[in-house]
Structure 1
Amino acid sequence: MPGNRRVTFALSPRPSSPPAPVLPSPEPSADELTSQISALRAELRDGRLTQARQRNQLNQEAAHIAELTRKYKEFKQERQELKAKLVHERDTAAAIQKRLYVAVKNHAEAQDKCARTMADCEGLRMLNEELSLMNKGLAVSKSEAGSVFEEKIAEMECVYRDKLEEAEVAFAHELEETREQLSNGQLQKVQALKKEIESRDAKIKKLEHDLNRQCEINAMFTLDYDRDTNFTKHLSVPLTIPVPETSASRLASGQSGSTKPRLSSPRRPLIHLESNNVTIRKRSRVPSWRGDKEDRPPLRADKVNVDQGAPALKSEHNDQDRLHKRARLGYSSALAGKESRQRSKSFVQDLDKCH
């Protein structure tokens, strides 16, 4: 393109003198060297000025060329747009011409179609007359067919009504049998649950009775053991020690039907206790302190009570704590049995209400 062409200018050659013959000359002086240097500097300055002028001229020419290139591109773009518009106008004119040809052809076809339609209308008019005659005959046959159809529908309704009644009776009978079976099954389940609950209540009552009996037996054996072994304590302290109200109420509630207050005596494990049967129980006996009371002098007994008073009181407090713990255990087991019986009764009542 013309805009991309590089323009170069040839520099005018500097006028130079013909080379002088080199002759041996004497060494120049300082003034001559200074004058030569100044001359060379002037030549160099002139060359730089000339080069600057040429560069400025080149820049101006390059700007002018760029402006011409821009104008050329604008003209070229306008030409392309005009060419595109011309092509579009030609296409539009061709399309209009084609539509005109199509419209003329369609008009001719419409005229032909109109003529054919007129002939068809005449044929349809004749067919319409025939159809009216046929409709009259069809109305007569339709009334006859309607009466026959209604008779058949009435017969079918009677048949299906009888079948429906039979099916409803059979379904009601089957539903009643199913309800009876379900109710019987539920009653059997409820009765089985009642029996199981009653058997569990009986077992719980038996276990409570055995537990209370065991507590009574342990208390009796503990009293016997304390009466036989702790003779030194009974010399100075009375045998019947008052029991606190709280411990007495706990003991009374833990033992079934026991309203008599017991002694606050300790409980110790029985080594020879084999079963809950009182008749076959075996225990070791020690000589009673009442038998030795007559043989011993009272002074000796008083001395022993004074010397052993503090340990006896400590052991008494420890035994009372053990007794209270065991009474609480018995009371909790009795409460657990009562609660289980109440829960079972409420469960049975709920089942009875449901059924």
Structure 2
Amino acid sequence: DRAGTLADDLEAEVLRGTDLAGGSEREQWETFGSPARDAAAVLRALSRLKPSSDANRVLGARVLRSLSHGTTQEAAFGLLALSEIVSATRAATGDTRVFLGNEEVTEARSLGAGIVEVRLPLARVAGHPGTLRLESSGLSPSAFAVRGRYRRPVNVAAGVGAPPSVDTGAAWHLAHGPNVFRLYTDAKGKPVDLAAVPLGSLVRVALLVDFPADSAESVPDDRIRYLAMTDRLPAGFEPVDPDLRTVASVPGLANEHPFAAILKGGGAASHVELRSDRVHVYFDDRGQRASAATYVMRATTRGTFVAAPAEAELMYEPQSLGRSEAVSVTVQ
């Protein structure tokens, strides 16, 4: 049949080491295609039609290598293909059991594709050192990943919110992370007292991300270009979209704003996403060590609120998260 014939042809091409990319480079770009994505699609087909073929091993290694330097879309296609390989070999891996000390952890659920998620409450670990042990009855190697989730209380320092209404500095950053600073002014860039913001007034938020020299030098150029910022609005405020025709015009940024030189000097954000409770800013080609972005929000509700720390991280570099300080804001 046609599927079998096509599978035989693909298998032969893979074993010969043929590049599986289809179409010219321009056609690949116009259709969001890539050699890595094509290889993942072929791997999915062969894993179903010829599960015992050596081509799956060869192509699987090629797809796995592409995960370290490809795009997000290529990574998604690659992971889907590799998950089918894992599913096909699940019987050979046997059952895996997890122990904390001598006690077996039984809080588990299947995620499909031979993947099992085991949940371990932090209360069982905090203050009780122990060895986490994995046992398997299968003959094939097993891989695992450990992820922790917890809540970190926001510590608003006493006196925050008084002039000059700027965070005291970067709260902390990981090994390759940036320093993150956040400045609140009026719409034009003049100082504003966060302890007494008038109801209905506009407040400009400016974010500055600066990478220490050692971090900038240790991260490859193709990874330090891609930056993502997230700033959560304090309750009682809503973002203002100046592009909407129903919104009154927002005054321009004055030159006396502390970040004016960077904000007006080029390197504009590639994409700004305004949500009801947060603002996302993305840079796809940072041309300098420091990057800045700004948006405007309006005070809509009276009360005292907390602005959670602003965050910034490199999109394709681990250990690259940084946070600003939290601040307290009062709307009168």
Give the TM-score category using the shorter length. Answer: under 0.3
Question: Could you say which structure has the larger radius of gyration?
Answer: 1
TM-score, structure 1 normalization: 0.16
